[in-house]
Amino acid sequence: MVDVSQHDLVPDHSVVDEDDLEVVLEEYDIKRTDLPKIKRADPALPEDAEIGDVIRIERDSRTTDVAVVYRLVVE
């Protein structure tokens, strides 16, 4: 079976620890549930991601070099 998360076109996905998450949520003045969602079954998620975790996705960007987005893992 192919591991999609290792493909060149899939951006880096990592679980955000709680301390860093608090900084992000305060910066944007939002709650965890306000974040866009990503399903736990998404093959690009790290294996240690659980429902309720927040994922940091780093994509290449033509304008800013790296674009960072956050997603809340849901069932």
Each residue's pLDDT tens digit, 48-57 = 999 999 999 9
Residue 6 pLDDT exceeds 80:
no
If you count them, how many residues does the chain have?
A: 75
Q: For residue range 23-43, list pLDDT tens digits in order.
A: 999 999 999 999 999 999 998
The pLDDT tens digits for 10-22 are 888 999 999 999 9
Mean pLDDT within 44-65:
92
SS3 string of the chain?
A: CCCHHHCCCCCEEEECCHHHHHHHHHHHCCCHHHCCEEECCCCCCCCCCCCCCEEEEEEEECCCEEEEEEEEEEC
Q: Strands across the sheet with 37-39, in order? A: 12-15, 54-61, 65-74, 37-39
Show the domains of the chain with their CATH numbers: 4-74 (3.90.940.20)
